[in-house]
């Protein structure tokens, strides 16, 4: 069914869509991460009798309250924009997920009620009723996480529908459990949860480092200076250690995408989205090197250094055992192994050495926190771009799709996927004539192509490879 599509001024609609969503998502993820961690930190302070943990917990919630209104306003604008610019997608998608969307609205209301009225406003009033106050924080975090669960489920469906088709505009399904429990949902949820903790805490540690430097200039011996020094070390260390869960989860997530969204997977592993993935890996390297060195210098703990070593070795195993990374070439694995081993040696040599409270180190970990933030942003961008020109993988295309995108998708689906591991092999194993190669593959029945598809693939390969 054709529905009117509103054209956007100045930029294509996908640019506006990315801008609106990337104004909302970092706010929402920061708020959720802070809400989940604040009751835990408050409980640690209560059990250990350490007021700094309580102060840190209250600071996270105070900042979450500041972010809540702009985050909610931007979240309201997203469906309004989609309704006008992606009307068919919204009509069909909302038909499939109407009741989950209503449920997350109810969860959101409960989250606001517990967070604002029973947690934030009662902090000082319930100072001597800590168990009750922490319980209210847990309730707020619970409903906030339910909101994330719903949205991660619906977002995962867009890349791995799992055989559940989008209903028509005139088919009000209401909701589908199979669509919500789509193949990539649990892996996306766990990956984003640890990702939220990791980038939010490293970024918070970086911001705390700036506060530490400011307080140190004013009064180096004050409690505020000592607090921000402690908060910098604590937040950044927590965020850094949370990162090491992500490569393992990401490995399983990638395997699911390889099976259930192979065209999108090819786009990421050697295809048109590879440059963004490379930038993401460079950003990870930045905060690993800076963050790892800072953490071992600041904490001077054999146990923590051993834990980081274990995390790096697990990361190395993922690199060595992940076949799709072959798109980098044969040099990738031995070079990566050498770099990781040298970095582990570097960390043990630097454990407890030097002064990590120097001004240069404070700026460095702020940069590392920013690198972690942009790594998070690029992850979401890659996940959306890898299914271009589709809005929902294999179900519906975007209104702004181009012939080049459609031809590339056909090449991935009908030529690369049956014959190659990654798109980069097209250049490494380029024949003298693509026309001869395609026709030979058709004769050998290694690919199944119509005459029109064969001609399209030949023209694309000749033009781009």
260 and 211, same structural domain?
yes
276 and 136, same structural domain?
no
Element (H, E) at 243: helix 223-243
- Give the contacts of 2 (CB within 8 A, at least 6 positions apart): 88
Instruction: Let me know if residue 26 belongs to a domain.
Output: yes
Q: Sorting pLDDT into bands at 50, 70 and 90, what band is 424? A: confident
302 and 226, same structural domain?
yes
Instruction: Let me know if residue 188 belongs to a domain.
Output: no
223 and 114, same structural domain?
no
Given the structure tokens 């799992």, which residue do they identify? 162
State residue 401's pLDDT score. Answer: 87
CB 260 within 8 A of CB 183: yes
> Among residues 391, 418, 447, which one ends one of the domains?
391
Here the tokens at position 293 are: 């060195």
Number of domains in the chain: 3
* Main-chain dihedrals φ then ψ at residue 8, nearest 5 degrees: -100, 150
Mean pLDDT value of segment 406-433: 89
Bridge partners, 397 (sequence order): 390
Ramachandran class of 162: left when φ > 0, alpha when ψ lies in -120 to 50, beta otherwise = left
> Among residues 328, 361, 391, which one ends one of the domains?
391
CB 326 within 8 A of CB 332: yes
The range of the structural domain enclosing residue 269 comes to: 195-391
447 and 382, same structural domain?
no
341 and 277, same structural domain?
yes
Q: Is the pLDDT of residue 327 over 70?
A: no
Q: Is the pLDDT of residue 328 over 80?
A: no
CB 392 within 8 A of CB 158: yes
- Rounded CA separation 279/258 (Å): 21
219 and 170, same structural domain?
no
Region of poorest pLDDT, from 53-57, 365-369, 401-405: 401-405
Ramachandran class of 416: left when φ > 0, alpha when ψ lies in -120 to 50, beta otherwise = alpha
Instruction: Let me know if residue 189 belongs to a domain.
Output: no
Q: Output DSSP code: residue 423.
A: T
Instruction: Let me know if residue 162 belongs to a domain.
Output: yes
Query: End-to-end distance of the chain based on CA atoms, in angstroms?
Result: 37
> Among residues 364, 391, 418, which one ends one of the domains?
391
Here the tokens at position 73 are: 């306003």
- Give the contacts of 279 (CB within 8 A, at least 6 positions apart): 378
Q: Is the pLDDT of residue 266 over 70?
A: yes
61 and 139, same structural domain?
yes
212 and 128, same structural domain?
no
């Amino acid at each position: 069914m054709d529905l009117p599509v509103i054209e956007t001024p100045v930029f294509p609609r996908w640019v506006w869509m990315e801008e609106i969503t990337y104004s909302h998502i970092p706010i929402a993820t920061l708020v959720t991460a802070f809400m989940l961690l604040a009751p835990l930190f408050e409980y640690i302070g209560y059990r250990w009798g350490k007021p700094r943990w309580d102060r840190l917990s209250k600071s996270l919630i105070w900042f979450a309250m500041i972010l809540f209104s702009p985050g909610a306003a931007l979240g309201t604008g997203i469906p309004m924009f989609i309704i006008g610019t992606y009307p068919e997608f919204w009509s069909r998608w909302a038909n499939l997920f109407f009741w989950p969307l209503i449920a997350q609205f109810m969860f959101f209301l409960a989250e606001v009620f517990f967070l604002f009225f029973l947690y934030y406003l009662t902090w000082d009033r319930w100072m001597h009723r800590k168990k009750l106050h922490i319980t209210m924080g847990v309730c707020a975090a619970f409903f906030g996480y339910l909101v994330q669960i719903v949205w991660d489920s619906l977002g995962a469906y867009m890349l791995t529908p799992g055989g559940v088709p989008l209903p028509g505009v005139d088919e009000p399904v209401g909701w589908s459990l199979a669509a919500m429990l789509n193949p990539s949902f649990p892996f996306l949820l766990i990956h984003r949860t640890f990702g939220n903790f990791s980038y939010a805490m490293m970024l918070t540690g970086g911001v705390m480092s700036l506060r530490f430097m400011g307080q140190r200039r004013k009064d180096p011996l004050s409690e505020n200076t000592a607090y921000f020094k402690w908060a910098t070390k604590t937040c950044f260390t927590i965020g850094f250690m949370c990162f090491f869960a992500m490569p393992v989860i990401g490995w399983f997530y990638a395997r699911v995408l390889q099976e259930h969204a192979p065209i999108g997977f090819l786009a990421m592993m050697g295809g048109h989205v590879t440059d963004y993935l490379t930038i993401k890996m460079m950003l990870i390297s930045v905060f690993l090197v800076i963050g790892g060195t800072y953490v071992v210098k600041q904490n001077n703990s054999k146990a923590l250094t051993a834990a980081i070593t274990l995390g790096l070795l697990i990361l190395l195993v993922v690199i060595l055992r992940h076949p799709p990374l072959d798109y980098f070439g044969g040099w990738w694995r031995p070079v990566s192994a050498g770099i990781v081993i040298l970095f582990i040696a570097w960390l043990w040599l630097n454990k407890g050495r030097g002064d990590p409270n120097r001004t240069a180190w404070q700026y460095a970990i702020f940069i590392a926190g920013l690198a972690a933030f942009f790594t998070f942003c690029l992850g979401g961008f890659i996940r959306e771009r890898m299914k271009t020109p589709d809005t929902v993988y294999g179900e519906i295309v975007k209104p702004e799709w181009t012939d080049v995108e459609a031809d590339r998708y056909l090449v991935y689906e009908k030529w690369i996927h049956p014959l190659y591991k990654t798109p980069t092999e097209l250049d490494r194993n380029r024949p003298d004539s693509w026309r001869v190669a395609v026709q030979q593959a058709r004769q050998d029945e290694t690919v199944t192509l119509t005459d029109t598809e064969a001609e399209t693939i030949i023209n694309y390969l000749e033009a781009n490879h």
